[in-house]
Amino acid sequence: MTVSKKSGALKSKSIRIARTVALRFMFYFLLSALSFIFLYPFITMIAKSLMTDDDLYNITVKWLPSRATWSNYDIAFRRMRFRAYVWNNILVGGLATIGHMFSCSLTGYAFARYNFRLKNVLFVIVIMMMIVPVQVLIFPLYKQYSDWGWLNSFLPLVVPTFFGMGLNGGFFIFLYRQFFMGLPYEMEEAARVDGCGPIRTYARIMLPMAQAPMLVCGVLSLVWHWNDYFEPGVYINNPAFRMLPSVLPNLYALLNQENHTMIQVNELEGIVFNEAMLMAATFLCIIPIMIAYLILQRRFMEGVERSGLTGM
């Protein structure tokens, strides 16, 4: 009877182990399948960027090139004038990120801690900024910036961010508001007892505690401004102020031989621009922001957890 109990216990334990292994296998299988769906365009881009002309037209070459060709990156780098345009992205993205981190934190703190007239109405407007896409407002914005003489400059992309507006400014205000609402009021009351005014309390006490939402705001604002194609394409026609995402359509047109508006480099005149070079140019556009995200990935995820972003 004791032997039968032991065998039954061993059998139930083996069943539990088999069930656990099967569930883990299904979990990792589904996770791998979903990861492949998201990574497929990225893998295709890198694979094609290393292919030669023969590989592009060879039906037997699908994933791995027969011979990796790094010259595609050199040609794409010079054809798209990467060195000149990347500084435009850095300037716009850096200034806009600083503007969002400053203005949205101050606005979110005011919504979270103070009561004033029309507070709810103004917060509804902030929510509308999150809901209404910029494409709906592009005509009055274009007319306004045209009357101010801001077209063909970085001003329409940078100045609104210092007033809590700009690209996804409403989202950052909401993010800071949710964070500040979760902090205890005793710290501000102690600051008032010590003689701190509202601005000093915000700058010396509350803002240093908001490192988590500031990091989330900084990373997201930088990524979104770096990848933004719509607004720079509307406000900027001067090639000197062009952004990297705005260069890719010209390269695509060059690939299809529809026009040759890109500034040609003398030593590249005899080179036929192909799909592999276009994929290399696309990868060059995203590699700086990927490096920045990889460096800040761990702190960014911690900031998402601490800022309350996951609980929205």
Give the tens place of pLDDT for each residue, 38-64. Answer: 888 888 888 888 888 888 887 777 778
Which of 283, 306, 295, 301 has the alpha carbon at shortest distance from 82?
A: 283
Res 312: pLDDT: 44
Calculate the average pLDDT of the chain: 83
Q: What is the pLDDT of residue 105?
A: 92
Which residue pairs, CB below 8 angstroms and at least 24 apart, start in 113-117?
113/180, 113/185, 113/188, 113/206, 114/198
Distances from the Cα of 71 to the Cα of 63, 74, 77, 93, angstroms: 19, 5, 10, 29
How confident is residue 5, by pLDDT bands cut at 50, 70 and 90? Answer: low
The architecture of the domain spanning 72-311 is: Orthogonal Bundle (1.10)
Q: Write the pLDDT tens digit of every residue in 62-86.
A: 778 888 888 889 888 988 888 889 9
The C-alpha torsion from 227 through 230 and 231 to 234, rounded to 10°, is 140
**Quick one: pLDDT at residue 66?**
80
User: What is the pLDDT at residue 96?
Assistant: 94
pLDDT for 37 equals: 87
- The whole-model pTM stands at 0.80
Q: Which residue did the predictor score with more confidence, 205 or 305?
A: 205
- pLDDT of 146 higher than 90: yes
Tell me, what's the pLDDT at 260?
42
Q: pLDDT category, 238, cuts 50, 70, 90?
A: confident
Whether the pLDDT of residue 261 is over 60: the answer is: no
Mean pLDDT of 267-275: 64
Q: Sorting pLDDT into bands at 50, 70 and 90, what band is 88? A: very high
Average the pLDDT over 101-127 and give the result: 90
Q: Which residue ranges make up each domain of the chain?
A: 1-39, 72-311
Residue with tokens 């700086």: 288
Query: Residue 55, Cβ neighbours under 10 Å: how many?
Result: 20
